[in-house]
Amino acid sequence: MKNKKLAFESLRTVLAVAISLVIALVTILLVSDVPGVALKAFLFGPLDSMRHFGNVLEMMIPLIFTGLAVGIMFQADQFNLGAEGAFFMGAVVSSFVAILWPMPAFIHPVVTILMGGLTGAVFCGIPALLKVKWGASELVSSLMFNYIAFFFGLYLINYFLRDPNAGAMVSFLLPATAKLPVIIPKTRVHFGLIIALLAVAAMYFFNYRTRWGYKNRLTGFNSLFAEYAGIKTAAVVISAQLIGGFIAGAGGSIELLGLYRRFSWTAQLPGYGWSGVIVAILARRNPAYIPLAAFFLAYLRIGADLMSRQSDVQNEIVAIIQAVMIILIAAAGFLEKAQYKMVFRDATKNLPKADNTAQEVEG
Amino acid sequence: MHDAALLTMEKITKVYPNGIVANNEVDFSIRKGEIHALVGENGAGKSTLMRILFGLEESQKGRILLNGEEIKNDSPHIAIANGIGMVHQHFMLVPSLTVAENMILGVEPKKGLRIDLQKAINETRALAEKYNLSVDPLAKVQFLSVGIKQKVEILKALYRGAEILILDEPTAVLTPQETKELFLELKLLKDQGNTIIFISHKLHEVKELCDRITIMRNGQTKGTFNTSDVTPTDISRLMVGRDVILEVEKDPAVPKEIVLSVKDLVMANNLGQKAVKGISFQVRKGEILGIAGVEGNGQRELVEGITGLSRISHGEVSIRGEVVNKKSIKEIRKLGTCHIPEDRMTYGVASEMTIEQNVLADKFDSKEFTGKILTKPKAIRNLSQKLVEEYKIKCSSPLQEVGMLSGGNIQKVVVAREFSSKPLLIIADQPTRGIDVGSTEFIRNRLVELRDEDSAVMLVSADLNEVLELSDSLIVMYEGEITAYFADASKVDEEELGLYMLGIKHQTPEEIGGVVYEK
């Protein structure tokens, strides 16, 4: 029964993805004057060169971090959306550490990433504390905090780190000692990919093999039960958000050190935190599926990018795909009837025939 | 057949989304003007069948005939329009409104745009007189006793034109005296031409009240009989498929030193009212102290206070000589306390996790099962396999999700976890509520075994049979106070117990003080 349920859930996810892709393809066919070119670029563009495929892997890195971050908070049943702000603030603080604290290579990125992570932890920890202390919904406060993070970060960069000669609102150049090395030649794929995969393994282990992870899951599934069993759920809830914030903050830092010459997210929030929510939902709470989900989303986005460059279809089409996907996965009612039929068939298969010996006694 | 069927349900099949088959091709039929008992164990499918009839659940197969014509009860509104009313086990009343206001909810008599409250009051009064159900139309529902609330529920159904009345275990919440009164009222209803379906699993009540009886087991009907043609033994054999008399075999208790001591305990409920009003008692090693009482008389708050789930307002609880007022749940558990919670789905399990992970919940941080950081999968697997076998938990493997099990097996998971921590003090709150006879028997015997192994047991139960069968000594709670103490539970008479449960009788403080063995 359990495996069937799991299989059904996977089927549901795959079907949701398939339906959203079909809708996107139909839309492209309808709006484009050169649908052949557009579809080819969208579906196969990311595979047509090492550089394009490298783009996919590059984009996957931040998505893995934010996906893991959101995932662990969801696991504790905390709908903290602060990964966006944590990612951004992690990168802001990392710029300071990288630019203002000269250090030898190797050590420099390590310290920078740790500082970014700590910043993220503090950032996601504030809504957690507000929730535990005063019952403020972490969803609302973390959402609002993202805007505080953005403008506070801009203020910091603008007043303390802005390069007056750069001609735009960006920071000074990041020193070479702090940068992460490229690991696949002819692409920009950097060492962050390895860190990301290590983080996935660590989180998987955390979730299923550690005492802490067990507490986290127990609290997430039924916090009253966890409390009754003697677990201090407030501590668990806070720690989950601290860890989540740390991962998101470190992710922001790694993204900055791997791909950028200067801190330059000054127009708007980079958006990886929001995407992390999508990744976490696709991966269904299991850290092992995060890389898959991140790869999928990255592939879609790079494909759409290439399509918009080569044809008349805009890359916003990805937003449609994401929206349909999330709605279908999140909607409990999707395929409910089919599942119910399956349950019904299963349950009635081995039933004893109704007892016809039951007699009516007349008075 | 000299009496044509008034209502017939044919081949009703209902499968819940979790795969549990509640009804399997059930046939059920009633005649006009009879009181028809629907009996069966918990989980036999009685309530489900009636919920289908009342339009609360949808069946996958089968049909319902009323006076020979097929009806489709897709919602309670339609069922009511068809003259079917239901009184649920848990009352559906608005506590802050008066009786008359509750009566007219949704079918308000109007005078222009305003509700004609006077008319509602008059109609309520008339209806109450007609059926001899004495209630005050102006009383606020929240101040009414359970028995009166039930009358309001019955009147509510009648007010909506019900001629077929479904009563879902109406006596479960009543004292023996209230039950008698209810029976008189029901007979009067019947004499006036109404038809009543009476769900119960108390056989003597069925014998006393009902004309015919339909027995259900395992989602199927096992026959319909004239009540006078069958003996209680016949019925019970059909109900459970074998002769079981739930009698727990036990030797007299040998109480030893005091384990739990409750002194002048005051607990507030979540509305800030005093739910436990300064009670004192003690439980000793090797005995079962039963706490009888109608539900909602402070038992829940008492249990929450002892186990650390709620803060103690006043007084003192000590376990093995240590005051636990300020201790955490974990610390209280570490003293050897285990707790079978009243509501297993809310407090007892995480239903989306496996059996294995559920039995681990209270001991995951012991050295046996985790190192400093990592868990020890092998030791955990051994534990879960051992418990599944020992407690005969019906499942495909310890890795099955708890939510997929039946109620009795879920309760066994809870009990297995709690009892496997070698408890010195067992707080069992409604340990067998709503589960099958097999599991009930198992859990009750296990409680007695643990008592014999020198655990102290405090048993809270609204099931009179259970407290009387299991307890060595007994206290009765009424409105947050102890109204009686019996040193020997086997000498207690059910009738008398009822008087204390209702607060009609009250022992002297000296008599009640007998449950404090040492100052």
Q: Which of B202-206, B260-264, B376-380 has the lowest mean pLDDT?
A: B202-206
User: What mean pLDDT do residues A293-308 have?
Assistant: 91
Residue of A2, A351, A361 with shortest CB distance to B229: A361
Which strands make up the sheet holding B164-168, listed edge to edge? Answer: B84-87, B164-168, B195-200, B35-39, B212-217, B220-226
CA pair distance A272, A297, nearest whole angstrom? 11
Residue of A211, A215, A227 with shortest CB distance to B373: A211
Select the residue from B1, B10, B18, B25 to test the A interface by mutation, using most A Cβ atoms within 10 A: B25
| A354 to chain B, closest Cα gap in Å | 6
For position B445, what pLDDT does the model report?
A: 92
For position B246, what pLDDT does the model report?
A: 58
For position A4, what pLDDT does the model report?
A: 66
β B274-284/B258-268 pair status = antiparallel
The yes-or-no verdict on residue A280 having pLDDT over 80 is yes
For position A288, what pLDDT does the model report?
A: 93
Cβ contact A359–B223 (<8 Å): yes
For position B203, what pLDDT does the model report?
A: 76
* Gyration radius of chain A over CA positions: 24
Residues of A in contact with B356 (CB under 8 A): none
Q: How far is CA B210 from CA A146, B174, B213, in A?
A: 67, 18, 7
Select the residue from B30, B216, B373 to test the A interface by mutation, using most A Cβ atoms within 10 A: B373
The pLDDT tens digits for A214-237 are 999 999 999 999 999 999 999 999
Tell me how many residue pairs between chain A and chain B have CB atoms under 8 A apart. 124
- pLDDT confidence band for A20 (50 / 70 / 90): confident
> Which residues are CB-contacts of B102 (< 8 A; sequence separation ≥ 6)?
B93, B94, B141, B152, B156
Q: Would you say A187 and A51 are in contact if contact means Cβ atoms under 8 Å apart?
A: yes
Cβ contact A343–B15 (<8 Å): yes
Q: How far is CA B405 from CA A75, A225, B353, B414, in A?
A: 23, 18, 12, 12
Greater pLDDT, A173 or B1: A173
For position B400, what pLDDT does the model report?
A: 87
What does the CA dihedral A234, A239, A240, A244 come to, rounded to 10 degrees? 150
What does the CA dihedral B349, B354, B355, B359 come to, rounded to 10 degrees? -60
> Which residues are CB-contacts of A355 (< 8 A; sequence separation ≥ 6)?
B220, B221, B222
Residue of A214, A224, A346 with shortest CB distance to B347: A224
pTM for the full model? 0.78
Q: Write down the ipTM of this complex.
A: 0.81
Cβ contact A355–B357 (<8 Å): no
DSSP letters along A140-174, please? HHHHHHHHHHHHHHHHHIIIIIB-TTSSSS-BPBP
For position B302, what pLDDT does the model report?
A: 95
CATH of A33-312, one of 1.10.3470, 3.30.499, 1.20.950, 1.10.530: 1.10.3470
For position B240, what pLDDT does the model report?
A: 66
Residue B474 DSSP class: E
Q: Would you say A306 and A52 are in contact if contact means Cβ atoms under 8 Å apart?
A: yes
- pLDDT confidence band for A361 (50 / 70 / 90): very low
Residue of A343, A352, A353 with shortest CB distance to B19: A343
Greater pLDDT, A206 or B235: A206
Closest chain A CA to residue B220: A354
The pLDDT tens digits for A131-179 are 999 989 999 999 999 999 999 999 999 999 998 888 888 999 999 998 9
Q: Would you say B393 and B413 are in contact if contact means Cβ atoms under 8 Å apart?
A: yes
CA pair distance B505, B497, nearest whole angstrom? 9
The pLDDT tens digits for B45-97 are 888 899 999 998 888 889 999 988 898 888 888 999 999 999 987 788 998 99
* Gyration radius of chain B over CA positions: 25
Percent of chain A with pLDDT over 90: 61
Greater pLDDT, B202 or B393: B393
Query: Which structural domains are found in chain B, ordered by start?
Result: 5-240 (3.40.50.300), 246-336+424-519 (3.40.50.300), 349-421 (no CATH)
Q: What sections of B192-290 are H helices per DSSP?
A: 203-209, 232-240
Both tokens assigned to A106: 């190797």
What average pLDDT is seen over chain A?
Answer: 88
Cβ contact B375–A210 (<8 Å): yes
Residue of B24, B329, B404 with shortest CB distance to A354: B24
The pLDDT tens digits for B209-226 are 999 999 988 788 888 999
CA pair distance A96, A85, nearest whole angstrom? 17
Greater pLDDT, B495 or B95: B95
The yes-or-no verdict on residue A108 having pLDDT over 90 is yes
The yes-or-no verdict on residue B192 having pLDDT over 50 is yes
Percent of chain B with pLDDT over 70: 97
- pLDDT confidence band for A357 (50 / 70 / 90): very low
- pLDDT confidence band for B242 (50 / 70 / 90): low
For position A360, what pLDDT does the model report?
A: 42
The pLDDT tens digits for A32-79 are 888 888 889 988 999 999 999 999 999 999 999 999 999 999 999 999
The yes-or-no verdict on residue A356 having pLDDT over 60 is no
> Which residues are CB-contacts of A187 (< 8 A; sequence separation ≥ 6)?
A50, A51, A53, A54, A55, A57, A58
The pLDDT tens digits for B116-146 are 889 989 999 998 888 888 888 898 988 888 8
Residues of B in contact with A222 (CB under 8 A): 346, 349-351
Partners of B215 in beta bridges: B39
- pLDDT confidence band for A345 (50 / 70 / 90): confident
What is the domain partition of chain A in residue ranges?
1-32+317-339, 33-312
Greater pLDDT, B234 or A84: A84
The yes-or-no verdict on residue B308 having pLDDT over 50 is yes
Q: What sections of A222-357 are H helices per DSSP?
A: 223-228, 233-259, 272-283, 290-310, 317-330, 336-349
Half-sphere exposure of A112 (CA within 13 A, CB side): 33
Continuous segment of H or E residues that includes residue B351: none
